[in-house]
Structure 1
Amino acid sequence: MHKKSSQSASALLITLCMVVIISILLLSFLVVAQLDRQSTFYYGQSLRAEEIGLSALQEITGDLLQEIAAGSKADNDPPGAAYTSNGVRIYMPRTPKSSQAARIGFASASFGTDVSTNMLPPALVRASRATDSFYASPPAADYNVAELPPPRASTTSTTDAAANGRIVSVDRWNKPLLLGPAVPEPFRNNPPQWVYVTRQGSRVCTDEEALQGKLRADLMTTNAFGVLGRYAFVIYDEGALLDMNVAGSPTVTTNTANFRGKTYASYADLTQVPGLAQNVVDSFVSWRNSGGLSRAGSYTNAVQQAATNGFLRATSTSGASDNPLFSRQDMLDYFKKADPGNYKRYVPYLGTFSRAVNAPSWGPATPKASSIDYSAIAEQKDAPNRNLANMRGADGQPLIKRRFPLSRLALLTLQATSASGSDIHASFGLLRTSASESWTYDHGDPHNIMTLEEVRFAGREPDFFELLKAAILSGSLGRDPGAVGGGAEGGPAGINFDEYSSISDAQILRIGANIIDQYDSDGYPTAIYLDKHAASNAVERLYDTAFGTEDLPYLYRLMHILFTYKVTNAQTRAGQAGGWLQPQVWNPHQQPQTPGAERPTEFRISTHGKARIEWSETTIPNSKVVSADVDYDADPPAGQVTFSATASSFRDQPISLTVSNADAPREINKWSSSYNPDTLFPTGNRFVAINTGTLTFSPSAAGASIGRRITPVSPLTFVLEYRDASGTYRPYNLLSRLWLSDGMATSASVSPQATSNDGSTLPQVYTVRPDPRTDRFSSATSFLSYGVTFNTSAGRMQMGDRMQATLRPNKDYKFAITKHVPRASSGFTYTPTSGAFFIGSWAENLTGLADSSSYSDVDGVTRPADGFRRNASTGDGNLLYHTASASPIAGVGNASAGWRPVILNRPFRSVGELGYAFRDQPFKTLDFWSKDSADAALLDVFCIEEEPTVVAGQLNLNRAPVSVLKAIVSGASKNENTPSLILSGTDSSTVADSLASYVAGNEPLMNRADLVVAATGAANLSAVFNASLSSAADKANKAYGEASVRAFSSTANLRTWNLLIDVIAQSGRMAPGAKSLGGFLVEGERRFWLHIAIDRYTGKVVDQQLESVYE
């Protein structure tokens, strides 16, 4: 009995245990099932949140594209314009404001120019917010309001708790650390607001709808307005940050020429970014570029190689590989580990994604006072200057698919030849069969450089010269001096300049040749022939040949020397007279650090045409006696002078040719008493000159007043030639077609019994041009006082420093021109209007000054020359003399002074270095520092290397923080020949501050040309740069003043939007009984960072990278 009871108890216990176990298993199953159900639910909600997030990114992108369309011109604006071709539309911005993504969500006054705790960073573009002036009163001038995307955000803040308590704090919004190390107050006070997603899509929802239950989306309801989720976003301009896949230079390169040249962001000085130390930069760059450094051997070489693929491909070798940053989180992780105590200070300035369409977007603006409305006619087919982004090929695609690489200039070597279809012909339109020939320009039209419209129908891309023609304002080209003879000015001293100088294509070729000669390393001038006239001989062909400018001497002045023999027969009073033209040569360039690797050292002046001298008594009619003609073409040696020159010869000031610096003259030119006993010219005279004839004269009485002059019988052309390696003399500088209808007259009382030379030599008249490198305005004439004689030992006129000096732009009447200057009717202005013309002031070319001269271009705009900001006290900017107290342009060290013109003799390091190239106008180089520059578009048309159509590492200057701008410009070179002259930390700070303040207070820059000329009449940015510099040298010398433009020109991206869209998406539904939008139940959440690049002009997404963010 007991045993049976014991067994029953055991069975019961076992049963109870089994029940417990089964219950536990059942409960576990139920728990697991519930957890799995919840997991499945949350996973499903996460997928829904992901779908909402990705859809939100598509919607935000679509809104951005819609904004582009709304902010773009429609066809027939201006009349006749068409922006759609073969179904392809170009989105030309209506205004500069609509060229940038609009700022939405914050008051404009809340933005700063740098990262700070009390102001919003300039790279912040917008946040999802319900109220903003952009929606409340859309700027109708900037957008077609009807095309703008609708507002979508509601009033519920992301910091408001949801029905289940979920919030997105402002600190979470700063996870990308783009707001700064700490969230600035304006953002903290105005965080993003939610966009609610309903079954019909996102729209503005209200608390009232929530209270009325209209937003419920339960499974059992079919409410079309039911809320399924919500999202919020912040958009940053990542293109305004330093792309750390490109930017940054190691210590080893910070003192190199490439670093000072600022070719790419790779040479940015990252130590200018707050908190970023050079040792951190060095470690990062060596890790990032390890493959390139291993392969190229140096950072500079690695950068150059990376540039050819647009910095978009990593380099690898068998032993090393580059380490690009694939996401912003990669970058944050790297610097958090490398520099944990400081990284939050500097990562707000850094990015990892940037793309720039490597094509110009310039369209011409119309300068004040211009007679040509460039902007209004930019869409007309016959206009030389078009809206470049809207120039199309036959397929409707852009005609200029990418910027022209200046590295192609390397094709034009001394020995290069070119046949039709060759690389040189395709890129430059140049042909020649032998290196001993000049180049001939012919790219489909042997007489002209084509316009872009003509190139379009030729079915090819434009060449180098065609791009120059398209980019340089047409009305700034082809200014001529008018016709010769008559009027108060007398007209130029040469004939046919109103025809030859007015050919704008010829000036384009000269500018192009000057660019070529800046780039190449040799010292031999480039020569390019354009068949504009039917040349009957070699000299006439020279008039249609464009010669480049090298670091060589040039023809500056011709002295007209007349003298008499003493009379040995007092009864007959018979005597002789003779004439000479004595050349002066001058090299106006500063002494380069490295002269051309190959350069000429032997030179010759050759004369073409005919001349004679004339004699007459001023009181006796018909007493004129003329000499036999001297025909220099029939007897070439009669008009030739040869001389040698080293790299430093003739540089300080204009130098007369004498026996000390030129070869011994022919016998005909040795008219001194040591050779001719009867001459009154000084014994031992040392000058070397060109004889213009001799004659016998017989005055009617002792002391008779006579007139003598040198007269061209046919136009005289003087050609300065260099001797090449083969021994052939080749032309490079002309003083052409002198034709003085009134001769070169002088007069004095001469005693036939004179025994001394006083009064018998008359070096009174001279022909001169302020800048010897150009013959555009012909030459002018002036005279000295009577009785001036030669200095026997010096071989020149005894006039103090006057004839060894340049024409000066000041009130000293010793330097005034008396006759034969360009005509007022051709755009030239003189004060006073007659008697004394101060053409030395063409080196400034400013209006409204007393005792000065200026000229306007063909479009009526008076554009300043390189010296317009000169400082007369220090000499800075004084291209024609040293200081206010010293007449000549001589002085200790003056030959290498920074205000003299520069010849680089090397490849360009930035597009801004085109500003060194001579413009074929007196003391004018291509202008990147004046408000009326006609050349600024060149910055947008050219690039440095052969780069792809899309590149990385460029910067949107409109929204870049000051510290980023400072990093770009710091260390930029101011003076090519003085490496120590750079934009220091202080300089770069003021420049960066000025640029950031400028774009904050004015309309955005639309293209690189706006670095110089504001498109809408705002304050000129180049003047802002100039005002930000402190020293007299920086303010007055053009090369110094353009340092900022050079630094920014190759790194600026003002066409492609590079945005980082930070979106947080939540799935869920309105809670039962919700009384407001805050009654949303959060059931799932995802976060994404979308890096996206959009071409503002084509509306195409250039590239994008999606970064999933896990928190």
Structure 2
Amino acid sequence: MSRSPDRFPRSTPDLRTRGVALITVLSLVVIVCLILVAFVAAMRIERTASYSYGQSISAEQIGQGGLRRIIAELQYEMGKDAAPLLDYPRKPVYTNVTATNIMPQYVGTNADMPNLIKISTTTPPYTGALSSGQLIATKVNTSITAQNGRFVGTNRWNLPELGRFPGTNSTPNWILMTRSGVTDGSSGGFGTTGNTLNNASPGNTNFVIGRFAYAIYDTGGLLDITQAGYPSSLPPSDIQQIKGLLPGTSLSDTNLAIDVQKLTAWRNAASRSGYVQYVTNFLATNSGQTVYPGDNTFLSRQDLIKAAKDAVAGLTTNALPNLTTFSRDRNAPSWGPMFNATDLGGTNSASYAYRNNAGISTSSPFTAVNRNPNRLLPGVRYGSAYTITDYNSTGAAYTYQVQPGDAVVQRRFPLARLAWVGPNGPTGASVTAIRACFGLSWGPSADPNLPGVNVWKYEELTAKSTIKTLDQVASEGRAPNFFELLQAAILRGSLGVNGNAGVTSGTTYNMSIHQSFPAFQILRMGAAAIDQADADSFPTVIEYQQSGSPWQACGVESLPGIISVTPVLGVPNSSPQTEGETSATAAVYLSFNLWNPHRTTPASIPELRIRVRGSVGVYNMHGDPAILTSTLGSKSEPGFSADLDEAIELSVAARTGFTTPSTLMVSDLQGTKPISTTPSDFDKGEWVEALPLGASLTTNIATLRLHDFPYKLGLNSAITTDRYQSTKVALGYDSVSPFNAVMEFRAPSGSWIPYQFATGMNNNLTWFNSLGGNFYIVSANARTDGKYYANFIAYLGGAYPAGWTTNASSGAVYHSVANDPWGTPAGTGIVYLTYNNTWDRSLMYASNDPRSTRLNTWMFTRSGPLSISATQKMILWSSTNIATLFEKGFGGDSNYVQLKPTVFGTSYFPAQLARNNYGSDTAISSTSNTVTRTGSGSDTSYTDNDGLRRTADSGLFGDANATTGNPFERTLDKPVILNRPFRSVGEIGYVFRDNPWRTADFFSSKSADSALLDIFTVQDSTERVVSGRVNLNTRNANVLKALFTETMIDPVTNTTLSATEAATLAATITQFTSTNRIVNKSDLANVVSPFLSPTTGSTLSTNFTSLDNQNLKLRREAFVRALTDTTQTRTWNLMIDIIAQAGRYGPAANTLDKFIVESERRYWLHVAIDRFTGEVLDQKLEAVTE
């Protein structure tokens, strides 16, 4: 029967079993084969991956090793000209830093890339007197194709967006890395045997294992975009509060190609609503290295580049060459004296060889008692390990460790601390913090004239009453205080100039002994700085023990001070002496001129009063002995000596008045009008309204009236030997009771405290002592019998009696007589007197600057063609009175000036001290120090102790007339009191330095104060390293322009630098730094400012838009204020772009370009290196993804 077609054939069981086994075996074979194939493939892949990974590790090691070698080479470069100071071997200090080596040496750069500093090339990376760099490249440029086709072209090198290489010839060359280090391939050669570059034998140390190339950029000269710029909606008043810091930089310039509104909206997403507080309270205290909660930032340069390419945060790629995300600075000064006095024409004394002495403390010419205060600051170091306790700007304590060899100035001093020194004791900080940071304590004065009155007292003095030097501070294991830093920064030869130099005894010496002590001047300057920064108008008074006596250094607020004291004597014209009278009585007054020389007056001023203290002697040979029972003077003439202590308060209006020198009037006094009484007691004085005084019969003059002076005259007082007899008035006649007129303020405690003296300071050795003047009030008239008798020529309250004539132009008073016994020939002529003592021509004791305690008090007789209308104002230099003899202001020879500081020549014109330029229009830059010591001359100037004639605040006006550069009359030339915290260290330029008309000098080549720019800061960070500062040697004019734009040039008129003015200054300064280098921020004053216009006066530099902007110190220093806290010179901020390749030369290689590349790594290393120590302060590595 046949099979059914729908059925499978029936299988045989044995056959079926054998078939299954065969299939199973075959399947297992296939599986095993597949496993073997997969294993072999995996092994080959793993081998390739492992090799690739190994080679990548090699490239990474080569790259990082290359970076370490590059940094080491940069550190070696710092000692290329002179070895560092190695008294602490592990902490070198480079003392050879100059303009030629403050920056890394430029190698392989090109004109198209201002940010580029070095590339790897065939020349040494640096050359110097002691050494040259060893990191020399091969002749193989990175653009040359390797054996296996790899090369690095300009596009890849341009990736950092810091400039564009103009061609392949300008790109870096390869440096070879062998087993033993780097080589340029010039030795070793090629071959399969020996120490060749391509012999892979294990023992061959010359075998090349890779290569690298690099480009180094100066990113320190760029704007740190993580901080720079502010919201465009910020009001101008807010902008000025932060203008001294990098966040106050204007990014509005189209050359920067930044939309600042979008930038701040993205970056300051959370902080922009309170941007000023963010800057002053957050950024300023954390070094700018912490991101505010809710804000955004750029984490790396690649992040910044991506944002610019994606148009994020308002950035464009055109902005990138001006921007960085990494900026660091050592938060400590690097200043050292930059010149010797002789370099600028000063004295050859070894004591003033500042630069030469920068490394010594007590070695000759100094001693352990007379130490050198002006040292290279990084070189003054701790000798032991200490834990230093310091205080932040809130007064909170923090500590840090120092080791032997660490600099004693570890942090710049934050000026915000000045707010702690309040008018009524500590403010915002503990007594411990204030003692540590200022050396001050608040307690009862030791001055017997201020019993129980609390003042600030300086406690950190040496046994010789000097402020301690930094090396003395180091030995005590603490941080230096404010006044110790002032002393370290201000050149010693500019301090303690005494107007009576060389005089060691006598009246003039006693009146000026305080001038010789630098400690007094430094404390005064420090007090003035505190007063600039506080909001109140209470002068800061600092007491210290000078040789056992409590001396007080007073600060300077915008308050009136005494500018002159004028004695007035005369007989009331209502009762003139007539022929036949035998007696008369003269009134004796003291009148006062006051002046507030500042441009602005604050609305709130403390109560003020004028106080007159001490003895006044009045005597004359015709004094009535019946009443004047005492005899005074060398001729024992009848007279009296009054011992005064009289005070009277100023009215509310008067406290803000006296904006020009003016006589104290009755309306200036507080309370009821004083009655015109005569003191009955010889030792008393009465504040009264004087009789009408002067030719113009000025009324309402407030004077201190002394006891009347009775005369015995007439027929019994014949004169036979002189035309006239003088009445003597001696201030401080009794040496036990010297005389002074003092301005006092009522402190918050209610106590009256002196703040300004007509002469000297609180120690009465510096007061008027037996300082006398002759008042010619008695003359000779012919009697009817042909004889002569004594008569008055000084009348008060009206015109002269009949027969007397006043010359309106000269002021001379004369009386015609028929038989003048002294005429030539005898019996002819007139009695002619050149002095009119009715107040217009009275002798006066004057000062040229009411703020100054030095070179100040002088005795002057107003005579000759001097305008009598100037009496009430007593402007020393008036533009309306510039006739011959007085074109340089009041003064002259001994006919006009009876007493002056001995350092001046025969002629003395004190108003010229407002310039102190000897009439030169190159005083800002000249090495001339000419002054008139002897003989006549129309210019009055002086040199400091180091022989340098330093220009005063108005000295850039050259020999201009009295209409400009004249603080006595022109408002623009007057000094400014800020009454607010400093916004830039450059604003210390407003601080008075206790020389007539001189504030801290940040504008001239001879500046002795410029180091202050480096020692202080307006940032409050407690960190060693801070961010957000631009290197002053930047080649990017756009960066400087951004820093300058909208900088305040005049805080009174609120005038700012325009974008055009900013661009001009930026271009000029970058032109300067293209051929020179700025070593320290102090160079802004000593070097850059003179460069901007070496000639001033009527010659206008193209760097300024007006003569006032050029010549007014306040305006000229605007560029310094803009740069001081936004810049630095100490730290090298570099970005190293390195491309590293692992690989080898094959056995057949015979030239250096036959390198076989096996792997590659690229890094951008941002590094900050301290130029003065070589320390790497910070670094940040980016692995570059291309």
TM range (shorter): 0.7 to 0.9
CA contact (8 A) 1:761 1:787 kept: no
Distance 1:1049 1:1097 in 2: 19
**In the alignment, does 2:1068 pair up with 1:1089?**
no
Distance 2:963 2:156 in 1: 55
Residue identity opposite 2:863 in structure 1: S
**In the alignment, does 2:966 pair up with 1:879?**
yes
Q: What corresponds to 2:1146 in structure 1? A: 1071
CA contact (8 A) 1:929 1:1023 kept: no
Gaps spanning 5+ residues in structure 1: where?
Answer: 76-82, 112-118, 536-540, 789-796, 882-888
Q: What corresponds to 2:657 in structure 1? A: 650
Rate the CA distance shift 1:622–1:384 in 2: closer, same or farther, 3 A. Answer: closer
**In the alignment, does 2:267 pair up with 1:288?**
yes
- Counterpart of 2:1032 (choices 948, 957, 964) is 957
CA contact (8 A) 1:72 1:94 kept: no
CA contact (8 A) 2:1035 2:1074 kept: no
Deviations 1:91-138 (A, max 9, x none): 2234332232222223xxx44xxxxxxx221x2110100125x66xx3
Q: Which moved more, 1:16-25 or 1:216-225?
A: 16-25
Cα offset, 1:32, TM superposition: 6.1
Q: What corresponds to 1:307 in structure 2? A: 284
Cα offset, 1:944, TM superposition: 1.1
Cα offset, 1:568, TM superposition: 5.5
Matching of residues 512-527 of structure 1 within 5 Å: 512-527=526-541
Distance 1:606 1:439 in 2: 24
- Counterpart of 2:918 (choices 847, 855, 861) is 847
Q: What corresponds to 2:106 in structure 1? A: 103
Q: What corresponds to 1:991 in structure 2? A: 1065
Rate the CA distance shift 1:957–1:669 in 2: closer, same or farther, 3 A. Answer: farther
Residue identity opposite 1:698 in structure 2: L
CA contact (8 A) 2:690 2:703 kept: no
Matching of residues 557-706 of structure 1 within 5 Å: 557-565=564-572, 566-567=575-576, 570-591=579-600, 595=602, 598-614=604-620, 626=637, 628-633=639-644, 636-637=645-646, 640-646=647-653, 649-662=656-669, 664-665=673-674, 667-668=676-677, 685-693=699-707, 694-699=709-714, 700=717, 705-706=724-725
Residue identity opposite 2:533 in structure 1: Y
CA contact (8 A) 1:553 1:587 kept: yes
Distance 2:691 2:277 in 1: 70
Q: How many residues align?
A: 1017
Q: Which moved more, 1:1099-1108 or 1:926-935?
A: 1099-1108
**In the alignment, does 2:462 pair up with 1:391?**
no
**Greater relative contact order (Cα < 8 A, sep 6+):** 1
Distance 1:219 1:205 in 2: 16
**In the alignment, does 2:754 pair up with 1:731?**
yes
Residue identity opposite 2:443 in structure 1: T
Cα offset, 1:904, TM superposition: 0.4
- Counterpart of 1:904 (choices 969, 978, 984) is 978
Deviations 1:311-331 (A, max 9, x none): 112222xxxx23232211111
Distance 1:344 1:220 in 2: 49
Q: What corresponds to 1:1060 in structure 2? A: 1135
Cα offset, 1:1071, TM superposition: 2.7
Rate the CA distance shift 1:1055–1:342 in 2: closer, same or farther, 3 A. Answer: closer
**In the alignment, does 2:992 pair up with 1:918?**
yes
Distance 2:1172 2:503 in 1: 53
Cα offset, 1:581, TM superposition: 2.2
Residue identity opposite 2:605 in structure 1: R
Rate the CA distance shift 1:1103–1:517 in 2: closer, same or farther, 3 A. Answer: same
Distance 1:245 1:18 in 2: 66
Rate the CA distance shift 1:787–1:456 in 2: closer, same or farther, 3 A. Answer: closer
Rate the CA distance shift 1:719–1:55 in 2: closer, same or farther, 3 A. Answer: same
**In the alignment, does 2:1100 pair up with 1:1012?**
no
Q: What corresponds to 1:721 in structure 2? A: 744
Q: What corresponds to 2:437 in structure 1? A: 427
What SS does the corresponding residue of 1:467 show, helix, strand or coil? Answer: helix
Distance 1:266 1:1052 in 2: 13
Matching of residues 783-862 of structure 1 within 5 Å: 783-785=861-863, 798-800=868-870, 803-807=873-877, 812-814=884-886, 815-818=889-892, 819=894, 827-828=903-904, 830=905, 834=906, 836-847=907-918, 851-862=938-949
- Counterpart of 1:412 (choices 407, 421, 439) is 421
Deviations 1:215-263 (A, max 9, x none): 4546556432111110000111121111122212111336234446522
What SS does the corresponding residue of 1:855 show, helix, strand or coil? Answer: coil
Rate the CA distance shift 1:667–1:726 in 2: closer, same or farther, 3 A. Answer: farther
Q: What corresponds to 1:50 in structure 2? A: 60
CA contact (8 A) 2:586 2:711 kept: yes
Q: What corresponds to 1:793 in structure 2? A: none
CA contact (8 A) 2:285 2:1019 kept: yes
Rate the CA distance shift 1:787–1:762 in 2: closer, same or farther, 3 A. Answer: farther
Deviations 1:568-610 (A, max 9, x none): 5632432222332210011110125xx26x4214422323233
Cα offset, 1:171, TM superposition: 1.3
Matching of residues 534-545 of structure 1 within 5 Å: 534-535=548-549, 541=550, 544-545=551-552
Cα offset, 1:498, TM superposition: 4.1
Distance 1:964 1:223 in 2: 51
Distance 1:952 1:103 in 2: 25
Cα offset, 1:338, TM superposition: 2.4
Identity rate, percent? 30
Q: What corresponds to 2:776 in structure 1? A: 746
Cα offset, 1:906, TM superposition: 0.5
- TM-score (normalizing by structure 2): 0.79
Distance 1:413 1:650 in 2: 25
CA contact (8 A) 1:262 1:969 kept: no
Residue identity opposite 2:265 in structure 1: S
**In the alignment, does 2:560 pair up with 1:553?**
yes
Cα offset, 1:281, TM superposition: 2.1
Distance 2:135 2:696 in 1: 93
Q: What corresponds to 1:769 in structure 2? A: 847
Rate the CA distance shift 1:1068–1:785 in 2: closer, same or farther, 3 A. Answer: closer
Q: What corresponds to 2:13 in structure 1? A: none
What SS does the corresponding residue of 1:290 show, helix, strand or coil? Answer: coil
CA contact (8 A) 1:494 1:779 kept: no
CA contact (8 A) 1:966 1:988 kept: yes
Gaps spanning 5+ residues in structure 2: where?
Answer: 1-8, 10-15, 362-370, 385-403, 445-451, 624-631, 680-684, 760-766, 782-790, 793-799, 807-812, 814-835, 921-936
Cα offset, 1:735, TM superposition: 1.3
What SS does the corresponding residue of 2:484 show, helix, strand or coil? Answer: helix
Q: What corresponds to 1:158 in structure 2? A: 142
Q: CA RMSD in A?
A: 4.0
Cα offset, 1:23, TM superposition: 9.6
Distance 1:521 1:36 in 2: 75
- Counterpart of 1:66 (choices 76, 96, 99) is 76
CA contact (8 A) 1:589 1:651 kept: no
CA contact (8 A) 1:930 1:1022 kept: no
Rate the CA distance shift 1:178–1:201 in 2: closer, same or farther, 3 A. Answer: same
**In the alignment, does 2:149 pair up with 1:168?**
no
What SS does the corresponding residue of 1:98 show, helix, strand or coil? Answer: coil
Rate the CA distance shift 1:942–1:505 in 2: closer, same or farther, 3 A. Answer: same
Distance 1:399 1:383 in 2: 15
Matching of residues 129-528 of structure 1 within 5 Å: 129-131=121-123, 138-140=127-129, 144-145=130-131, 148-179=132-163, 183-185=164-166, 188-206=168-186, 209-210=189-190, 215-217=196-198, 219=200, 222-253=203-234, 255-259=236-240, 262-272=243-253, 274-277=255-258, 280-293=259-272, 297-316=274-293, 321-338=294-311, 343-365=316-338, 366-367=340-341, 368-371=344-347, 372-381=352-361, 382-395=371-384, 396=404, 397-417=406-426, 422-433=432-443, 436-445=453-462, 447-482=465-500, 494-528=508-542
**In the alignment, does 2:727 pair up with 1:708?**
yes
What SS does the corresponding residue of 2:160 show, helix, strand or coil? Answer: coil
Residue identity opposite 1:481 in structure 2: G
Structure ranking higher in helix proportion:
1
Cα offset, 1:433, TM superposition: 2.7
- Counterpart of 1:127 (choices 119, 128, 145) is 119
Q: Which moved more, 1:459-468 or 1:738-747?
A: 738-747
Deviations 1:494-524 (A, max 9, x none): 5514421111110001000100000110001
Cα offset, 1:748, TM superposition: 6.2
Residue identity opposite 1:859 in structure 2: D
Distance 1:413 1:162 in 2: 72
Q: What corresponds to 1:115 in structure 2? A: none
What SS does the corresponding residue of 1:501 show, helix, strand or coil? Answer: helix
Q: Which moved more, 1:856-865 or 1:307-316?
A: 307-316
Q: Which moved more, 1:327-336 or 1:353-362?
A: 327-336
CA contact (8 A) 1:918 1:924 kept: yes
Q: Which moved more, 1:475-484 or 1:519-528?
A: 475-484
